[in-house]
Structure 1
């Protein structure tokens, strides 16, 4: 981490860039946003969101006001720029890549014109992509550039890789030359000219690289407060933090609210009960009125609750920080001298961090469900937002008439739909039935022999299933799970092979030593997005069903 004495005045704005490796799973998404809130993010640059166009509303949280996302309608790639409610940002222009590789947002941040660029570059050396992105950035003469993303290349192959290479990639040269010629710089490398720090860990090659960057305008150097690569957790990329001080960014102290989840904590309830008893023993006298006693108790309990929650939050943050610091230190040691013991230690620490972050995510999901349960069917702001979103999704702004002319007039649109459905459901039954009866009388309908019917109705055998799998060895079939459960996976695999789900007895995953581990709901929830498996079958004992083996 590097700190600088920033320009006078103004609270720092924290920019965070992170390749999150998919946000489709609710638990993974909650863990990511919980971690981002702990990092106190203000403006987020997210890569590999894996969200389709209709799923972009999953990024809209209570503390996020603006969402800008690429228009790639597939569960891969995808970049987004999120602005929190604390930021005074007014967008003026948005350029979105239809292939989900970049998004460019121009606007004003605390009355300073800026260009926010978020890039997820291909994982091959594509110089044309780099040149195309850079050529599309507008208003470079009038706006301050803040460029970030996963570039999938090392700008300096000697310092930005744990296994240095002597050759520069074409994309790295294109990005580097653009920054040098137009007066932009890498703030982390500017403050750390010879330090080796990495943002990506490859579990396949057991190597580290610095692939995630910030590039900013040279005039923003005095505004830098700090820049830091945090620990690699949740994803295989590290969140990158950049703090820039904006003079007009003034923060107010937030209002205190009771967290209702505390009421399910037995330790908290015992603590509050003991404090109430102590308060009444000390202050309940004949000279004190009940109204004054009640108001004083409210103020006293508020202070005790704030003290309890502050201590609990500090302890939880301390535990998280210790884990993050330990993971960060192990990554640094492993990048210099990789050993099996260090890798095992890192996996253990990662498991502890995942468990802790999953507990926090479960609390956030429970809190959201409680909010919907309490206010979902009441005349409140939450219901107003839901109705507005529902009405907006059903709005038809334009249609073409019978002459293929576009119209946006509501009355004309209603008339076009009325005419269409009137003709659609109008009866086309002929008045003269002679031709129809003649056709049906002369029609010869083929029939199946009893042996053919019996052959079609019999259950599929293991040999037939194996032949079907062998015929698909070189073909990938995508399975999208609407629910992360073993039952859902069983039904999807049955649909893939065109068999009944009852013919699948169990699903196992083959471990590294060849053992078969039963696939449960928890295992499926921890599958990475776009996981690939080879399917094999095994006859189940005592029944006519089969086991599916994921290899």
Structure 2
């Protein structure tokens, strides 16, 4: 039987680390927090000089960043383990979705960090763009601030029906055979993660994993520097069954057919812009 190799993952909307003071406060807390991988949203880092400072100041391991394409976006994935091999980086949507394929502790992981856009339509569109990346033989960790709920009870005082972006997210997760860590381990608890004033509260921060994954219950941790809570859990990657037949191989004879060749060329061209240079601290 494989040795147990648990990893602890956390996600937090940091509500801006653009200023030196805000970045120090967040990094000080996250540096002391017991987690191996950290997903950040709403970094608000909009230029390379700010990114360079953030990379230099995160001294606990590699870090990967997607700059904010708009003032209130920006995402990052930080590691507190030095031995991380990054296989691939995909900036699926600048400042909104960053995907990493990494090798850690002998296990292949696909990490997908999302910061849901502000409008329902843009959220639905992004969920659909992410969907193909959820089907792979690696262990998928899909998390972040989705900016939407998946059950009416996930918004305090709300009894409304789900909006179309929430319906799309539920459908995407179901088709990819992903489970919401909170719902799987504590379905009867509200688990609110976002608070604004005394009335507004919701559960918009979450993690999804494959149905077969072995993981701990989710913890919700209040922080001083954000109106979002940090959520975290432990994943036993060694005990998670691998799915799929492994690496896909192209039957090159199929390219002799014009329509197949054109479709394949279009697919490759769509993938090239998403490949970005590694940003490792």
Report the TM-score range of the alignment, normalised by the length of the smaller protein: 0.7 to 0.9
Residue in structure 2 matched with residue 294 of structure 1 by the alignment: none
Residue in structure 1 matched with residue 234 of structure 2 by the alignment: 243
Report the Cα distance in structure 2 between the residues aligned to 1:68 and 1:32, rounded to whole angstroms.
Answer: 16
Residue in structure 1 matched with residue 164 of structure 2 by the alignment: 170
Residue in structure 2 matched with residue 129 of structure 1 by the alignment: 126
1:209 is aligned to 2:206: no
Using the size of structure 1 for normalisation, the TM-score is 0.40
Given that 2:139 and 2:237 are in contact with CA atoms closer than 8 Å, whether structure 1 keeps it comes out as no
SS of the equivalent of 2:120 reads coil
Residue in structure 1 matched with residue 139 of structure 2 by the alignment: 144
Residue in structure 1 matched with residue 276 of structure 2 by the alignment: none
Residue in structure 1 matched with residue 194 of structure 2 by the alignment: 200
1:407-429 CA-to-partner distances (Å, cap 9, x unmatched) read xxxxxxxxxxxxxxxxxxxxxxx
Which segments of 5 or more consecutive residues in structure 2 lack a partner in the other structure?
240-281
Deviation at 1:9, TM superposition (A): 4.3
Comparing both structures, which one devotes a greater share of its residues to strand? Answer: 2
Q: Aligned pair in 2 of structure 1 residues 72, 234: CA closer, same or farther (>3 Å)? A: closer
Residue in structure 1 matched with residue 258 of structure 2 by the alignment: none
Report the Cα distance in structure 2 between the residues aligned to 1:197 and 1:233, rounded to whole angstroms.
Answer: 18
Count of residues paired in the alignment: 235
The structure that has the greater radius of gyration is: 1
Report the Cα distance in structure 1 between the residues aligned to 2:229 and 2:37, rounded to whole angstroms.
Answer: 16
Residue in structure 2 matched with residue 77 of structure 1 by the alignment: 73
Deviation at 1:11, TM superposition (A): 5.0
Query: What are the equivalent positions in structure 2 for 1:273-312 lying under 5 Å apart?
Result: none
SS of the equivalent of 1:172 reads helix
Q: Aligned pair in 2 of structure 1 residues 201, 79: CA closer, same or farther (>3 Å)? A: same
Greater relative contact order (Cα 8 A, min sep 6): structure 1 or 2? 2
Report the Cα distance in structure 1 between the residues aligned to 2:235 and 2:155, rounded to whole angstroms.
Answer: 27
Which segments of 5 or more consecutive residues in structure 1 lack a partner in the other structure?
1-6, 249-551
1:409-467 CA-to-partner distances (Å, cap 9, x unmatched) read xxxxxxxxxxxxxxxxxxxxxxxxxxxxxxxxxxxxxxxxxxxxxxxxxxxxxxxxxxx
Residue in structure 2 matched with residue 23 of structure 1 by the alignment: 17
Report the Cα distance in structure 1 between the residues aligned to 2:54 and 2:5, rounded to whole angstroms.
Answer: 25
Deviation at 1:120, TM superposition (A): 0.5
Q: Aligned pair in 2 of structure 1 residues 234, 29: CA closer, same or farther (>3 Å)? A: same
1:358-377 CA-to-partner distances (Å, cap 9, x unmatched) read xxxxxxxxxxxxxxxxxxxx
1:170-195 CA-to-partner distances (Å, cap 9, x unmatched) read 22111111111221101111011221
Residue in structure 2 matched with residue 365 of structure 1 by the alignment: none
**Superposition CA RMSD, Å:** 2.3
Residue in structure 2 matched with residue 104 of structure 1 by the alignment: 99
Comparing both structures, which one devotes a greater share of its residues to helix? Answer: 1
Report the Cα distance in structure 1 between the residues aligned to 2:167 and 2:83, rounded to whole angstroms.
Answer: 35
Report the Cα distance in structure 1 between the residues aligned to 2:162 and 2:187, rounded to whole angstroms.
Answer: 18
Deviation at 1:16, TM superposition (A): 0.9
